[in-house]
Structure 1
Amino acid sequence: MHEWLFVEMGGSSIQTVQRDSSGVFRFTPGLVRETNRPIALACPGIVRDGEVLYATNLGWPDRADPKEELGLQNICIVENDAVAAGLGESVLRSKIGPEQDLFYVSLGTGVGSVQVANGTARYFDLGHHYVGGTAYCAGCRSVGCLNAYLCSSSLPTPLGEQDQIFVARMLAGAFQSLSLTDQVPLVLGGGIVRRYPGIGCLVNEQIANRVELTAAPLQAKSAAYAGLEYLSQIHRLN
């Protein structure tokens, strides 16, 4: 069996991850095209039967076949990027598999959110939770959702102190409104949190859950590669 390629696509970049002969992960910018190597893909959008719905951040049609969009026929696994990253955060904390229960929220091109419980990741879509107001969201094509305020295109660059307070307040308020258990940590990832890690401290002050920052290495887009590797191991057994 050829070694897998783990590909993460986002609104701003693509990264391919693979293990070298010594078992070390190597992170390569862009899409690595190598024939006969199975690919596990993480991307935005709703994944259903190998198709991706509403991946607007990628410029794909509302219903897209990633094999056609990327010109690759060896894509064996397709998973939502937040689901893959949430699984990866649990794997990186557990070392064996997704044994650590957690909530994962990614702040970047869009807002992704996942709950990992008992080794399974469930997408709970905090990003499109209604928070009020009239801001328009290009993702769900509605107004007033969290993503409309916290997606990167809606925020100033760079984020000043008050901007970071705004992000933390909006995120904490939306998270609390879902009445989720406070017994497991909330892990924050994504490009915005990596550039402004103080947002994690600000959120921690406002919710009962312990707030942690991503365990992904700096060279990785996110922990999605670890989640994809875990899924590839399951795929091998089926």
Structure 2
Amino acid sequence: MKVTADQALVKKINKSLILHTIRMHAPVSRARVSEMTGLNKATVSNLVAELCAQELVTEAGPGESSGGRKPLILHFNATAGSVIGIELRVKQLTAVLCDLDGGVLQEVDCPLAAHDFPYVLEQMKSIISGLIAQAPPSPYGIVGIGVGVPGMVDDGIVLFAPNLGWEMVDLRGILESSFEVPVTIDNEANAGAQGELNFGAARDVRHLLYISAGSGIGSGIIIGGELYKGARGYAGETGHMTIEAQGKPCSCGSRGCWELYASEKTYDNPGLSLPARTTGELVRHAISGQPDVLQHFASIGEYLGIGVTNLINSFNPELIVIGGALSEAEPWLGGPLRRVVAERTLPYHKQQLEITFSRLGSRGTVIGAGFSAVMHFLGNIRVTL
């Protein structure tokens, strides 16, 4: 019998649905998978057998029985392959080698002395090569590379990254040509939102704003459980939201942008007696009680609160997660941020709203970027039940 494209697609969708159900809910029995997916037991059993043959699912057991033979329990095989997640910041590259369930196997940081693309590309290639060499043996090896970049991205091309001075860089094409594995490229805040949604503070959240605050500011927007990218894929450039009408000029061409007042850009400040290059350095000064550093963090927290208030009033989220490098400064930023939000947000928008700092810390974007590569490998087909 000839198999139609429709039948093949239905099978692919069902198989994807079963795989992701096992990945998210393991350890789980076949019967429970059938209940959660709505698929009949025979379909589940047949497709689970294929997934086991592909070494993406393993069986262990027996599990608990309500009578009769005890069931075998299904597990997602996170060690079937590895992915590399990379976050490109203005002052450094951070990369992780992860298993297929977001478990970090290796991590490396590399300071950047310049922003020009040839230099950054060589640093990136060196890091990727080193992590590939450290990958453990597995059935599928390195299955993908995910990269989060501080700029607008379309189909793997970095269209515009004002803080790097990049325009129209085909980063995906270059990396795929170099390493011969699939590469996913996204805005770093979108990657961070995916990291939090799947492995951090935002699990099971339907309406989320992830604020990536570091060398700049970007936002990953989750609406109805889905990443919102806008009409052309460029949504979330909230760091270039104007909060001072006649404010400082910005590299984007505008002025008074939020990130000029609430990111690491503020560290080039003559008012700081202990100038710092990174948030980690400034945090050490804050721990020692340096007064001007404490005041500077309080100012950043207030400005973060102003921008966050605008986003709350615009999107009415249920959760806001502050991630990126500045999440390391939560003890000094959290109070001023929440105070400004409490003072300025519309009353009904504050109801059942939670503001938290990333559980993944500064790892949110690299883990989210790696997760995007995992989803590409697993053939993620979204199904609404």
Normalising by structure 2, report the TM-score.
0.53
TM-superposed CA distance for 1:20, in Å, is: 5.7
Q: Which residue of 2 aligns with 1:64?
A: 169
Which letter maps to 2:372? L
Between Structure 1 and Structure 2, which shows a larger proportion of helix residues? 2
Between Structure 1 and Structure 2, which shows a larger proportion of strand residues? 1
The within-5 A match list for 1:43-192 is 43-59=149-165, 61-67=166-172, 72-73=178-179, 74-93=181-200, 99=205, 101-122=207-228, 123-132=235-244, 133-138=246-251, 140-155=252-267, 156=269, 157=275, 158=282, 160-178=293-311, 179-192=313-326
| Cα distance between partner residues in 2 of 1:212 and 1:118 | 19
Give me the CA root mean square deviation: 3.0
Matched residue of 1:47: which SS? Answer: strand
TM-superposed CA distance for 1:94, in Å, is: 7.0
Give a deviation string over 1:123-180, Cα, whole Å, max 9, x none: 4322111111330111x12111112222313334446232222212222222223423
TM-superposed CA distance for 1:101, in Å, is: 3.2
User: Which deviates the most, 41-50 or 62-71?
Assistant: 62-71
Which letter maps to 1:154? T
Which letter maps to 1:126? T
| Cα distance between partner residues in 2 of 1:231 and 1:22 | 11
User: Which deviates the most, 154-163 or 36-45?
Assistant: 154-163
Which letter maps to 1:212? T
Question: Alignment length, in residue pairs?
Answer: 232
Does the CA contact (< 8 Å) of 1:46 and 1:52 recur in 2? yes
Q: Which residue of 1 aligns with 2:84?
A: 5
Larger relative contact order (Cα-Cα within 8 Å, sequence gap ≥ 6): 1
The higher radius of gyration belongs to 2
Does the CA contact (< 8 Å) of 2:263 and 2:300 recur in 1? no
The correspondence for 2:333, drawn from 181, 199, 206, is 199
Identity of aligned residues (%): 22
TM-superposed CA distance for 1:23, in Å, is: 7.8
CA pair 79-194 structure 1, distance change in 2 beyond 3 A: same
Structure 1 gap segments, 5+ residues each: none
| Cα distance between partner residues in 2 of 1:134 and 1:205 | 23
Structure 2 gap segments, 5+ residues each: 1-79, 111-126, 134-140, 229-234, 270-274, 276-281, 283-291, 342-349, 381-385
Normalising by structure 1, report the TM-score.
0.82
TM-superposed CA distance for 1:197, in Å, is: 3.3
User: Which deviates the most, 82-91 or 201-210?
Assistant: 201-210
